Amino acid sequence: MTTVSYQIYNMITVYSKNNCPFCDRAKALLESKGIPFNTIMMEDQPNAREFLIDQGLRSVPQIFKDGVLLPGGYQGLADKDEDFFNTLKG
**Does residue 4 lie within any of the structural domains?**
no
**Does residue 5 lie within any of the structural domains?**
no
**What does the pLDDT look like over 8-23, one tens digit per residue?**
446 899 999 999 999 9
> Structural domain of residue 19, as residue ranges?
12-89
Contacts of 49 (CB under 8 A, 6+ apart): 42
CATH code where residue 20 lies: 3.40.30.10
- State yes or no: pLDDT of 59 exceeds 70: yes
**Does residue 63 lie within any of the structural domains?**
yes
Q: What is the CB neighbour count within 10 angstroms for residue 47?
A: 14
Distance, in Å, from the CA atom of 52 to the CA atom of 85, rounded to the nearest integer, reads 24
Q: Are 88 and 33 in contact (CB under 8 A)?
A: yes
**Does residue 34 lie within any of the structural domains?**
yes
List the helix and strand counts (H, then E) for the chain. Answer: 4, 4
Ranking 1-5, 28-32, 33-37, 44-48 by mean pLDDT, the lowest is: 1-5
Number of domains composing the chain: 1
**Does residue 6 lie within any of the structural domains?**
no
**Does residue 3 lie within any of the structural domains?**
no
**Does residue 78 lie within any of the structural domains?**
yes
Distance, in Å, from the CA atom of 38 to the CA atom of 15, rounded to the nearest integer, reads 9
